[in-house]
């Protein structure tokens, strides 16, 4: 379905925002599902599309993100 989208950059913006919220709040269905989706996006759109998503997924594991950053993010969501 993704390959038929006209504006893939807009999709990436929304997907990145939703992925970051899922990762920070720890509400992702599973790590396997997230990595599968990112790899499918990379397959369909090329290797230049997904590195940011991959770095975000591997670099923002809950135990690696300091609590003050999580608190600041949650506070900005409430405003």
pLDDT of residue 61 exceeding 60, the answer is no
Give 33-42 contacts, CB < 8 A, sequence gap 24+. 40/2, 41/2, 41/15
The tens digit of pLDDT for each residue in 8-41 reads 888 888 888 898 888 878 788 888 888 888 888 8
- Closest residue by Cα to residue 56 from 33, 34, 30: 34
The Cα–Cα gap between 64 and 46 comes to 29
pTM of the model: 0.65
Q: Which residues contact 3 (CB under 8 A, 6 or more apart)?
A: 44, 45
Q: What is the pLDDT of residue 75?
A: 80
């Amino acid at each position: 379905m993704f390959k038929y989208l006209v504006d893939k950059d807009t999709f990436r913006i929304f997907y990145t925002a939703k992925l970051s919220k899922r990762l920070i709040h720890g509400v992702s269905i599973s790590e396997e599902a997230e990595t599968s989706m990112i790899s499918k996006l990379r397959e369909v759109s090329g290797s230049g599309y997904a590195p940011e998503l991959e770095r975000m997924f591997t670099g923002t594991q809950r135990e690696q993100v300091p609590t003050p950053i999580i608190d600041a993010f949650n506070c900005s969501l409430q405003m």
